[in-house]
A and B are shown apart, each in its own frame.
Chain A
């Protein structure tokens, strides 16, 4: 049966879909349809036919709507009046007002959010400055991109490859002569500490280096006086830095003046350097010409001694990789070192990408850069999580506002934009606080990282751009989810009052809190492990006594005066013993290959760490004998024909009774108990000790505990009397040994700081969540109290949830932390094992701090008078 009204109702639905049918326009259509229908009915059509024909006459809703729309489109942005403008200045002010009002009204949450973000941003900015500093090494050289360092890779019979940057002196000139791709070449070697004198002014110069004349042309070390091209041509030229020039010559013009080195040779000052920039991977205080090399015991013509850093400046457009391969081929052909190959390392890579290269310089590792960056980002991420959690959790307090805005026409995007804006505002405030606190944190950071980063670095346009990027990304990270979540609230539900937190939202929040605690736990476990490993280094029995031992360098002719020097020094009763040797324990620099011994298998050889020492070395160091005896003046025959080895060497050689056996041309007279020749990163290997006064470089003086100052004073007096030509300089052995773990300690310090920050932020977040969750349960708590629950019962109930979170976090964090710390510990030959203790301690600590944080809220809630919470409404 045809029902006109029903059909018309259906037909109108189609029109109502279009926004361009404004109020009353559909009525026009309807009236028209009814008129047409009536007249068609009069013409004698059936009701159904008349209706369909009339519908056809009116036309489709779509085409009519389009015409209406054209009428109403605004000239400016083709927007129709029923759509709100994309930007409403009046609303923007309202947003700002509401945002500031919320920050003010919810002080607790705002402080947690802004403080957390500020801490996160501050650590990110610090790390950014540090990373920039590390990345900028060697970039000040004009030719930085074209300079390469030659690296040699030697394969030992076992197939292990060792890479080092020292090359024979013949390589450099050969490269320049045979490869047109090489525009210039310079060899460079540090000859270490030397005595430099201008008359009465005598100093140790720590870092004297030799180099080819081209060195100053290839690199852009700023030369204040003299000519870069000719400064180092003369074999008796010397180039100083400005500080040294003032030290020796005061206000006089140093150019052309002479300096005496090691009381032997005279050198004429031919150039003054303005000082080496800090971000230089090549460091030196004084430069001498390569031609002076032989005066310092360095060869100038050989393929067999590997001493020189060799730098090449390549022609434009040369492929360094290909050239490296060509050079390597030529090298093994000409030099005969067939187990060695060469490659070229670009200058800007030296500072961060040399961890596989054996060299004396302390460099940074790109892995450390990554690690620190990741830690800083984690701290920031945790602050973002706090913001996300607290903002979505409080959705109910903003629900009515959002619903009202939506009802009055706000679109989804506008609400999202408003909340994103709020997060940007809070991040902006945090950024301001972070920037203001940087001048306060920078000194701490510099002492921790051993850097000298200045505030001025912050002002470059690149850094400002990066900071802006940080701001935007942080604001997005923190605010995007809350914005989308809040914008999708259904106004009808909220205004009706049955606003329920979605299960998904609160699950996400729990997950994020668990994530935060996993991170914190991992960092705590990490810090504890690093700390234990460092303690282990300090307390592990070394096989010798490093305390109360002074190291005095022996220079020039001093090594010949050892006997008289020792005799003079030992007259003081506060000094128990003295010994001269080539190297201190744990810092051996030489190794030899033992080629011949009794019972040797064919082709077998033994690598040995090696030291030249006198008869008092074992006494001064407190090294115990396992068998036989140490060197003694009273022995028959020449002491230089005798050798002392350690227990590991005995095992490696396969001797049952080593005393009296011969190693190469020497007779074994004693076996010492094992002591480390290097830092404990590497395992103790075979050690050989030989007597040879010509090789002594240090005098070690053991002083009585507690007499440090008097002993030092008397030592200085004796030194002045016996060795007046040489400045008195000393170092404590235990400090030098501690320095071996400097970079590990530095890393430990940084991890500690990040751990504390992460713990702080995670607990701030927990505080916020706890206060929110407890506030929601006020009535429940009141009811429970009325029904007889005690305060402790309620606290236990409130804490149970959070304990569950920490437990879950531990479950996640422990295996990961175990794996990561094991990886780190692997770099040490002697290491602590990760005990269950660290884990229990970390979890307990985290749990305790978490419970303490929660209790600040839960005690108040549990003790509150139920009347207050139940009375309202």
Chain B
């Protein structure tokens, strides 16, 4: 079970990461996260949209209404350049945190 704080902190990097692979819409983003994490990351669906709005206001992503194959129009989100930079920064931060955590978790060599 992932803690609430960690969940909150990771939402934005994960969204950025997903969008870095190409534009996507809200429902699909949630489904992809659920599938990849094997159900261990499960967002409450409605809450995604205020987060997306915030990110859009921060100019990390942009959005547009697109009708694919004549189906109903969907609200597609796309990552911006600022968003990519932010994603890189997030990745390196997470990397450092993970490295540090891993380092201290490995068995220690005892000097004679």
CB within 8 Å of B: which residues of A?
24-25, 27-29, 31-32, 34-36, 39, 57-60, 63-64, 67-68, 70-71
16 A-B contact pairs sorted by A residue (CB < 8 Å): A25-B53, A28-B75, A31-B72, A32-B46, A32-B49, A34-B72, A35-B28, A39-B31, A58-B45, A58-B46, A59-B45, A63-B46, A64-B47, A68-B49, A70-B50, A71-B54
Contact of B47 among A24, A25, A67 (CB under 8 A): A67
Contact of B74 among A31, A39, A64, A71 (CB under 8 A): A31
- A36, B51: Cα distance in complex, Å: 19
Answer whether A68 and B45 are a contact pair too, CB < 8 Å, given A31-B75, A32-B27.
Answer: no
- A28, B76: Cα distance in complex, Å: 10
Do residues A25 and B49 form an inter-chain contact, with CB atoms below 8 A?
Answer: yes
Question: Which chain A residue has the least Cβ–Cβ distance from B75?
Answer: A28
Do residues A59 and B50 form an inter-chain contact, with CB atoms below 8 A?
Answer: no
B5 interface hit (Cβ, 8 Å)? no
Contact of B53 among A34, A39, A68 (CB under 8 A): A68
Q: How far is the CB of A212 from chain B (nearest CB, A)?
A: 87
Residues of B within 8 A of A67 (CB): 47, 50-51
Identify which of A24, A27, A31, A36 gathers the most chain B CB atoms within 10 Å of its CB.
Answer: A31
B13 interface hit (Cβ, 8 Å)? no
- A623, B107: Cα distance in complex, Å: 137
Q: How far is the CB of B54 from chain A (nearest CB, A)?
A: 5
- A58, B43: Cα distance in complex, Å: 10
Q: How far is the CB of A41 from chain B (nearest CB, A)?
A: 14
Question: Which chain A residue has the least Cβ–Cβ distance from B54?
Answer: A71
Question: Which chain A residue has the least Cβ–Cβ distance from B56?
Answer: A71
Q: How far is the CB of B41 from chain A (nearest CB, A)?
A: 14
B44 interface hit (Cβ, 8 Å)? yes
- A31, B51: Cα distance in complex, Å: 17
- A32, B47: Cα distance in complex, Å: 12
- A585, B34: Cα distance in complex, Å: 116
Residues of A within 8 A of B53 (CB): 25, 68, 71
- Main secondary structure, interface of A, reads helix
Q: How far is the CB of B30 from chain A (nearest CB, A)?
A: 8
- A35, B51: Cα distance in complex, Å: 19
Do residues B57 and A29 form an inter-chain contact, with CB atoms below 8 A?
Answer: no
Do residues B50 and A29 form an inter-chain contact, with CB atoms below 8 A?
Answer: no
Residues of A within 8 A of B51 (CB): 67
Do residues A64 and B50 form an inter-chain contact, with CB atoms below 8 A?
Answer: yes
- A34, B75: Cα distance in complex, Å: 13
Q: Mark B51-81, 1 if CB is under 8 A from A, else 0.
A: 1011001000000000000001011000000
Do residues A59 and B47 form an inter-chain contact, with CB atoms below 8 A?
Answer: yes
Contact of B49 among A35, A64, A70 (CB under 8 A): A64
Do residues B47 and A63 form an inter-chain contact, with CB atoms below 8 A?
Answer: yes
- A29, B30: Cα distance in complex, Å: 13
Do residues B49 and A29 form an inter-chain contact, with CB atoms below 8 A?
Answer: yes
- A285, B74: Cα distance in complex, Å: 102
- Main secondary structure, interface of B, reads helix
Residues of A within 8 A of B49 (CB): 25, 28-29, 32, 64, 68
Residue total for B at the interface (Cβ-Cβ under 8 A)? 18
- A35, B49: Cα distance in complex, Å: 15
- A35, B50: Cα distance in complex, Å: 18
Residues of A within 8 A of B50 (CB): 64, 67-68, 70-71
Answer whether A32 and B57 are a contact pair too, CB < 8 Å, given A64-B50, A68-B50, A70-B50.
Answer: no
- A31, B28: Cα distance in complex, Å: 11
Contact of A29 among B31, B46, B72 (CB under 8 A): B46
Residues of B within 8 A of A27 (CB): 75
Residues of A within 8 A of B72 (CB): 31, 34
Residues of A within 8 A of B27 (CB): 31-32, 35-36
Contact of B26 among A28, A39, A63, A68 (CB under 8 A): A28
Q: Mark B9-35, 1 if CB is under 8 A from A, else 0.
A: 000000000000000011110010000
Do residues B74 and A36 form an inter-chain contact, with CB atoms below 8 A?
Answer: no
Residues of B within 8 A of A32 (CB): 26-27, 45-46, 49
Residues of A within 8 A of B45 (CB): 32, 36, 57-59
- A35, B73: Cα distance in complex, Å: 12
Question: Which chain B residue has the least Cβ–Cβ distance from A60?
Answer: B46
- A57, B54: Cα distance in complex, Å: 21
- A60, B46: Cα distance in complex, Å: 8
Answer whether A71 and B57 are a contact pair too, CB < 8 Å, given A28-B26, A31-B75.
Answer: yes
Question: Which chain A residue has the least Cβ–Cβ distance from B44?
Answer: A59
- A36, B29: Cα distance in complex, Å: 12
Q: How far is the CB of B44 from chain A (nearest CB, A)?
A: 5
- A27, B54: Cα distance in complex, Å: 17
Residues of B within 8 A of A24 (CB): 75
Residues of A within 8 A of B46 (CB): 29, 32, 58-60, 63-64
Q: How far is the CB of A598 from chain B (nearest CB, A)?
A: 114
Residues of B within 8 A of A63 (CB): 46-47
Q: How far is the CB of B79 from chain A (nearest CB, A)?
A: 18
Residues of B within 8 A of A59 (CB): 44-47
For the A-B complex with A68-B49, A68-B50 known, give 12 more contacts whose Cβ atoms are closer than 8 Å.
Answer: A24-B75, A25-B49, A25-B53, A31-B26, A31-B72, A31-B74, A34-B72, A36-B45, A59-B45, A64-B49, A67-B50, A71-B50
- A25, B63: Cα distance in complex, Å: 12
Residues of B within 8 A of A25 (CB): 49, 53
Residues of B within 8 A of A29 (CB): 46, 49
Q: 4 smallest A-B Cβ distances: which pairs?
A: A67-B50, A59-B46, A35-B27, A64-B46
- A39, B75: Cα distance in complex, Å: 18
- A60, B27: Cα distance in complex, Å: 17
Residues of B within 8 A of A57 (CB): 44-45
- A71, B47: Cα distance in complex, Å: 12
- A35, B68: Cα distance in complex, Å: 14
Residues of A within 8 A of B44 (CB): 57, 59
- A66, B88: Cα distance in complex, Å: 30
Identify which of B27, B44, B53, B72 gathers the most chain A CB atoms within 10 Å of its CB.
Answer: B27
Question: Which chain A residue has the least Cβ–Cβ distance from B51?
Answer: A67
Q: How far is the CB of A665 from chain B (nearest CB, A)?
A: 114
Residues of A within 8 A of B54 (CB): 71
- A250, B104: Cα distance in complex, Å: 111
- A677, B52: Cα distance in complex, Å: 101
Residues of A within 8 A of B25 (CB): 31
Q: How far is the CB of A139 from chain B (nearest CB, A)?
A: 66
- A34, B71: Cα distance in complex, Å: 13
Q: How far is the CB of A614 from chain B (nearest CB, A)?
A: 110
Residues of A within 8 A of B74 (CB): 31
- A781, B22: Cα distance in complex, Å: 78
- A31, B45: Cα distance in complex, Å: 12
Residues of A within 8 A of B28 (CB): 35
- A63, B47: Cα distance in complex, Å: 8
Q: How far is the CB of A743 from chain B (nearest CB, A)?
A: 78
Residues of A within 8 A of B26 (CB): 28, 31-32
- A24, B64: Cα distance in complex, Å: 11
